[in-house]
A and B are shown apart, each in its own frame.
Chain A
Amino acid sequence: MTEATEAPLVDADRQAVEAIRSALNAALRGKTDVIEHVLACLLARGHLLIEDLPGLGKTTLAKAMARVIGGRFARVQCTPDLLPGDITGFRVFDQKTREFEFLPGPVFADVLLADEINRATPRTQSALLEAMAERQVTVDSVRHVLSGTFFVIATQNPVEQHGTYPLPEAQLDRFAMKLRIGYPGRLDELAMLAAAVGSGEDQETTPIEPIGHGRLRGLQEHVAGVAVGPMVAEYLVDLAAATRGHRQVTLGLSPRGLLTWQRLAQAQAFLDGRAFVTPDDVQAVARPVLDVRLGVEPEAASRVVSEVLDSVPVPVYPKARRA
């Protein structure tokens, strides 16, 4: 069993998590479930893929996140003519110094919003692979390390498919989860309209107290230390095997996906104030984790995930004790 930290959520941690949660809830009204998943993804050092229609608050969410963690925000609007160098940066010849100088691209931000990522060519999409997986980029054989809290929020439009390049499985597996924001409720929209009356164009002027990079890194390290008992680990493995054996799943959960699922479950337990993971945590993050990486027909995804969760017994009583 993984060593557990003594208290997963000390007061400072609780305050930091609450600050992030409040900032994100203020930016995206009425989407507490989505915010919780985003929080878990952030604390698990994962990247987020949001598949939804335009105008639902994806950029707002990304900007709010960048502000609350006190980092730099960058946005890339992906188009077919976007080049890898436009994301990673490139070297230019400086006429004054007579040397090549590296101009960092948007990937060097703390929060990167890659809007409509499926409109970029596969070549450009793959430029994000190294950045997302290893938090570094290599340009002209020179390795450049990214921010320790580097966080990618990519979006794609589920409706328009003309002129798009669907993300390959290898790219999808780099994302920790896929979320759909959805339309806000009626009351939330009324509140949003009321808040917009009299406010300026630039909503980023709303004061948000950043928690700082170091604080976020500390939270992420605490999450990594949340204990995962042997029964829960076996449960995770059984679930992964169930995805691989399901008749409608052509691509089951990869070991990397399994690791990501565990880390997200740890983050979920951390957010619930526990020092150990329970099957509830595993199930809470199952849907967004599996949505992004299971090879399954989109309309059947929800049912397949339910079937997988319903088919694997939840371990409660240790086998040794049962005997």
Chain B
Amino acid sequence: MSAEEHRRGRQAVGLTIALAAIGVASLELALRGMTHSTGLALLRAGGLVAAMLAAFALLGRGRGDRGRLPTRRETIALLVLAALPFAWHPARIAVLGGGVMPETMLLEGLRNLGLGLAALSRKPMAGRLAAVVALFGVLAGSSLVEGQVMTVMAGTFAVIGAGWLLAGYWLGLPTCRAPRGRLPLAGAAVALGGTAAMLAIAAVGPTTAAAALAGLFPSSGGTDWSDPEARSGVGDGPNEVDARDSADSVGFSQSEVYLETDQPSLYDAFSETFGEPMKKKQEKAIALGPTEIQRRREHPSEDHRAGREFSTHRKPPGPRDPPGAEADALLYVRGRAPAHLRLVAYDTFDGESWAEGPPSPNDARLRGEGPESPWLRVEATARPYLSGRVTHRVKVGLLETASIPSPAHLERFRVGSVNRVDFYEWAQPGVLRMSGRSIPPGTVIDTEARSPLPESLRRLAFSQRPGDAFLRYSQVDECPPVLLRLASDWSAGVPRGWRQVEAVVAHLRGHCSFDRAATPPEGCPDVMAHFLEDTRRGPDYLFATAAALMLRSLGYPTRVVGGLYVDPKRYDPVARHVAVASGDAHLWVEVQVPGGDWVAVEPTPGFELMPPVRSPLDRVLAGLGSAGKWAGRNAAGLGFVAVGIGLLAWRRRDVLDRAWTLAWCLATRVGAPSRAVLATLRLVERRASLAGRARTIGETPSRWCGGIVASAPDHLGGDLRALVRLAQWSAYAPGPLPSDVDCRALCRRVVRGWTLRTFRSITPTDNLPRELAS
């Protein structure tokens, strides 16, 4: 190649790499620019381009450029690169706890392909494909990213692209003539494909074709993904009708919220599920002591009207209606199940009824994520026992509620597009509700919460003397003796802390069985004694009451929480959600841990807490911990294995040589002499390859042998030359080897003489290309 051709070729490769770098940066901006800063996206792109340049340099070291097309291995590597995001996706879900949209994976695969092609851009066809991929990347980035950075990159791409086209033109000049007699198959295939596509569009009509194309993009039609990068999709209905996007629109959420409806409330659901509370036969006025009066004064706003308290003296539930249609569901929940959705928290118990606590204006503060974002963030103190992120999407069905059905430990949420903080308030600690209005049916609520880890909770130090909050959540004045006795028994020998809570709850779950119809009889003097000692059966509110009171008797602040249980058994695989009906109304217990947060425990058998979701860091740490423990148990074996692997790695060439020599011994023991000769030459070539003197692709054995023998002792050189001559005879001559030569003796001499050490001793130090070829 002339110097001019070299120069042009280098220019074209350089321009291709520049185009690929811009394409990668554009794709990174499109992929990460919305969730991360532009600088971070560009930094990431820079890292990827640096890796590509390293691969480019590595691929070009000591090799002549052969061929226009990538080799088979290179093509496979490119395909693997393109498929990596799809292959990595299950692991990403497992490690990071969430996936990405198919479009994102496609763009990542395309980005990887562009990087790989750019690394191979010394081959003209790979370079051209890299430029095409880069062009797509810039187009995708321009359509998805707004900002001056993208404009500058697109302009730069246009300028460099013009230069690249010129360079390609100059390079193509000597070869612009197409070989005669060869059908332009690729062009014909493209033309045929285009014609077929046009015919298909004409046959089905443009509207159907557009709809079919739109179906290829799941975010436009609805999947189970929720991604902040998505610009439209499921859940935007309220956004369109809430009069937030357009002043002309009138949303039902604004108009119907004040209408009287017959939608069931949580109170209705409790009544239907657990039975009506028994009416008190008579009420009498009693004198309050000074302590009680003081307590009442502390909570002057408590309102004990119906619906804000939960009576444990209830009639048996009526005959259950057969499960209705899914349209009768109170909520539709998509996300991890089982889950406990809080709606109300009861903190005071008067021996018969649980009553709601007062609103807590000083609870965690809400903060918007910006005027354009519908998400609100819950600012809470650091809670080290929380780990992985759990997302849920709740669509309100028939439930009439102001409380936002959400799991505990909420971090972020969105209710439609209502992102004003003053629309929300804390009903009780951790229970969020819309202030002064209920949530309209059809509203989609997205929540992001954190999952508590039991092992982290067990490490928490619970104080012996509970704080002020205990005063409110610890009424055990009317606690039955049986309850105190059982709590004491079940917690005996268990260190104070979360383990004790778990022990009590676990014993309770084993002590009684769940039976929603087993309500205490009317007039029962001691419901808890009847439940825990007589029948040992009962509905979940009795389990919750018993657990809460037992834990309070042990000094743990507790409360009973009412809400809806997302039962995984009711998961609809077609709709990919759980329809929560009134029968899923449930009560459970939450324990206040140091720091003031409330952590749920599930005392009712048959109901389960959501398994803990670990964050990637926690998973890694847990994995490292487990691995460390395992390694500690098997230290000796691991040491042996490590030493063995180290020795193998250190002496890998000698090990390979021994293995190949053994294979040679077995192969040449029997068979024709010509076979032994060829096997010997192959063994010698392999040894030479290990020593960096491999025969190159177009090199004949005699030429290779000539180069080797020139720097070897004479007696060895003669044997090798003779072996090569015999090998040529064996490989290319029609007849057998000459009978006057003792082939096997020669083979043995060569194998003994031309050892790996021999090749190493004659290997010139500057023979990098051959070492690379080996």
Contacts A247-B124, A316-B727, A321-B675 known; A310 to B735 CB distance under 8 Å?
no
The reply to whether B696 and A229 contact each other, CB–CB distance below 8 Å, is no
Check if A244 is an interface residue, CB within 8 A of chain B. Answer: yes
Whether, in the assembled complex, B606 has its beta carbon less than 8 Å from a beta carbon of chain A, the answer is no
Provide the residues of chain B in CB contact with A278, threshold 8 Å: 700, 702, 728, 732
Give the shortest distance, in Å, between A87 (CB) and chain B (any CB): 31
Tell me if B293 counts as interface (CB < 8 A to partner A).
Answer: no
16 pairs from A and B in contact (CB 8 Å cutoff): A227-B734, A229-B734, A248-B174, A248-B175, A251-B179, A276-B729, A278-B700, A278-B728, A283-B700, A299-B2, A300-B2, A310-B64, A310-B66, A311-B66, A315-B731, A316-B678
Q: A2 CA to B275 CA in the complex, in Å? A: 101
Q: How distant is the Cα of A4 from the Cα of B733 in the complex, in angstroms?
A: 8
Is A292 in contact with chain B by the CB < 8 A criterion?
Answer: no
Check A318/B735 contact, CB under 8 A, given A244-B179, A247-B175: no
Q: Are B698 and A313 in contact (CB under 8 A)?
A: yes
Judged by a CB distance under 8 angstroms, whether A317 is at the interface is yes
Q: With an 8 A cutoff between CB atoms, is A297 at the interface?
A: yes
In contact, A314 and B678 (Cβ under 8 angstroms):
no
B interface with A by C-beta (< 8 Å): 1-2, 5, 64, 66-68, 124, 174-175, 177, 179, 675, 678, 681-682, 695-703, 727-729, 731-735
Instruction: State whether A312 and B682 are in contact (beta carbons under 8 Å apart), knowing that A250-B175, A276-B734, A280-B702 are contacts in the complex.
Output: no
Contact present for B68 and A247 (CB under 8 Å): yes
Identify the closest chain A residue to B727 (Cβ). A316
Cβ-closest 4 pairs across A and B: A310-B698, A276-B733, A229-B732, A279-B700
Question: Interface SS of chain A: helix, strand, loop or mixed?
Answer: loop
Q: Which of B700, B702, B728, B729 has the most CB of A within 10 A?
A: B700
B685 nearest in chain A by CB position: A316
CA distance A164 to B681 in the complex (A): 53
Q: Which of A227, A252, A300, A314 contacts B698 (CB 8 A)?
A: A314
- Chain A residues near B733 (CB, 8 Å)? 4, 227, 229, 275-276
Kindly list chain B residues whose C-beta atoms are within 8 Å of the C-beta of A194. Answer: none
Contact residues in B for A307 (Cβ distance below 8 Å): 64, 66
Set of chain B residues within 8 Å of A279, measured between Cβ atoms: 700, 732
* A312/B675 contact (C-beta < 8 A), A3-B734, A231-B731 known: no
Choose among A277, A297, A299, A317 the residue with the greatest number of B CB atoms under 10 Å from its CB: A317
Total A residues in contact with B, Cβ cutoff 8 Å:
37
A311 touches B698 (CB 8 A): yes
Q: How far is A227 from B729 in the complex, measured between Cα atoms in Å?
A: 11
Report whether A310 and B697 are in contact in the complex, using a CB–CB cutoff of 8 Å: yes
A309 at the interface (CB under 8 A from B): yes
Cα–Cα distance between A300 and B700 once the two chains are bound (Å):
24
A43: Cβ under 8 A from any B Cβ: no
In the complex, A297→B64 CA distance in Å? 20
Which one, A1, A300, A314, A316, contacts B734 given CB within 8 A?
A1
Which residue from B177, B697, B728 sits with its C-beta under 8 Å from A250? B177
B698: which A residues are within 8 A, CB to CB?
A: 283, 309-314
Q: Which A residues, 277 to 323, have Cβ-Cβ distances below 8 Å to chain B?
A: 277-280, 283, 297, 299-300, 303, 307, 309-318, 321
A232 at the binding interface (Cβ < 8 Å): yes
Question: Distance in Å from the Cβ of A304 to the closest Cβ of chain B?
Answer: 9
Interfacial chain A residues near B1, Cβ < 8 Å: 300, 303
Q: How far is the CA of A303 from the CA of B124 in the complex (A)?
A: 17
With A250-B175, A250-B179 as known contacts, state yes or no: A4 contacts B699, CB within 8 Å. no
Interface string of A236-274 (1 = CB under 8 A from B): 000000001001101110000000000000000000000
Considering the complex, give the chain A residue whose CB is closest to the CB of B698: A310
Closest to A230 in B: B732
Chain B residues within an 8 Å CB radius of A314: 695, 697-701
